[in-house]
Amino acid sequence: MSESLMKSAGIDPGKGLQFGMYSLGDHLPDPSDGSRVGPGERIREFVGYAKAAEEAGFDFFGLGESHQEYFASQAHAVILGAIAQATSSIRIGSTSTILSTSDPVRVFENFATIDHLSGGRAELVAGRASRIGLFELLGYDLRDYEELFEEKFELLLKISEEQRVTWRGQFRAPLNDAEVLPRPAQDPLPIWRAVGGAPASAVKAGLAGVPMMMAHLGGTTSSFRPTVEAYREAARHRGFDPASLPLSTVGFLYTAPTSQEALRELYPHINEGMKRTNGQGMPKQLFAQSVDPASIVNIGSPQQIVEKILHQHEVFGHQRYLGQIDFGGMPYARVMKQIETIGSEIIPAVKKYTAKEAA
């Protein structure tokens, strides 16, 4: 199954590191003037990003799910369905689907349907939620945070592997020879586990033999190496070949002619966005460290970003990188310019050097 997962995710190491972008679906005001587009326009922006990313040569576009103020992607699967129809070649998926507060049967039905709408380009990333307000909103007990996710993730994998499912758990009614339809166009549908950087969660991903998507807000590249090693060691321990399991990293991405310009332009958006969604801003001195070559955050000139990503690829040996470009009320036109610059100056260089290395 692991080898087919690499193939179904469209990953060919001979073509170099896959490069994508994702949005958390935030709907924040522009910190420069307090303006904010309406929810309908914001939702249409996500579709526009995906179309532009496809045209610019990105391999993947992802959209996250959130259920709180200042977000517009509560129905992320619906938006991904629209993106499936608006694009033709870019792979699309969730980043991530909050499985803890969702029914795995419905999640699988939704993404199998998106897979058909897209012609076999859909992927599903299951996560546990970093913003916890949705537990009360959707009728779940936050005290069951870990148990909910682990049980539901186990059921989701079982549904993916078996067309007829018999299952019993603690938080959902049992399934007795249940047939979950439609089956996806891909066999199998790529199902990733989102990991926030903690080795414990990475170990669970490795033991399950599933692709891992590792998110990072900051820190050094080397500080995340133990998480990757724990993931691969756990997979090896369970009898999986770690080399055949896809690994993706995700984090902030922003480029400008110089690192100083990149910091100056991006900081107001990151700071305001963190304040409104997490309750506290980003310390300016801490943010300034993002341009350090050792930082895992990819902010700087195009050449600096290329060098950082190549270093990260050397450390992690990952197959995909996803950049978060649009956070914090960034104007649509500027995001589109970022996509254009990344597509013309960063992606070709990254692919050239990683493909050469793979060959």
* DSSP states along 55-94: HHT-SEEEE----STTB--TTHHHHHHHHHHH-SSSEEEE
- What digits encode the pLDDT tens for the residues 153-193? 999 999 999 999 999 999 999 999 999 999 999 999 999 99
Whether omega for the bond prior to residue 293 falls within 30 degrees of 0, making it cis, is: no
Residue 346, classed as helix, strand or coil, is helix
- Alpha-carbon distance of 334 to 353, in angstroms, equals 28
With contact defined as beta carbons under 8 Å apart, do 84 and 114 qualify?
yes
DSSP conformational letter for 293: T
Q: If you average pLDDT over residues 327-349, what whole number do you get?
A: 98
Q: So what's the pLDDT on residue 3?
A: 58
- Alpha-carbon distance of 347 to 54, in angstroms, equals 12
Model confidence band, residue 134 (pLDDT cutoffs 50, 70, 90):
confident
Number of structural domains (the chain) is 1
Give the range of the structural domain holding residue 129, as residue numbers without chain letter. Answer: 2-358
356 burial (CB, 10 Å; 0-12 / 13-18 / 19+) is: exposed
Mean pLDDT of the chain: 94
- Alpha-carbon distance of 132 to 134, in angstroms, equals 5
What is the number of helices (H) and of strands (E) in the chain?
13, 12
User: What value, to the nearest 5°, has the Cα angle with vertex 54 and ends 78 and 69?
Assistant: 40
CATH number at residue 344: 3.20.20.30
Q: Which pTM does this prediction carry? A: 0.96
Q: Which of 72-86, 105-119, 132-146 has the lowest mean pLDDT?
A: 132-146
Model confidence band, residue 25 (pLDDT cutoffs 50, 70, 90):
very high
Closest CA to 357 of 58, 15, 59, 20: 15
Q: So what's the pLDDT on residue 136?
A: 86
Q: So what's the pLDDT on residue 4?
A: 66
With contact defined as beta carbons under 8 Å apart, do 155 and 104 qualify?
yes
- What digits encode the pLDDT tens for the residues 272-299? 999 998 888 999 999 999 999 999 999 9
Buried b or exposed e, range 192-216, using 16+ CB within 10 angstroms: bbbbebebebbbbbbebbbbbbbbb
DSSP conformational letter for 291: G
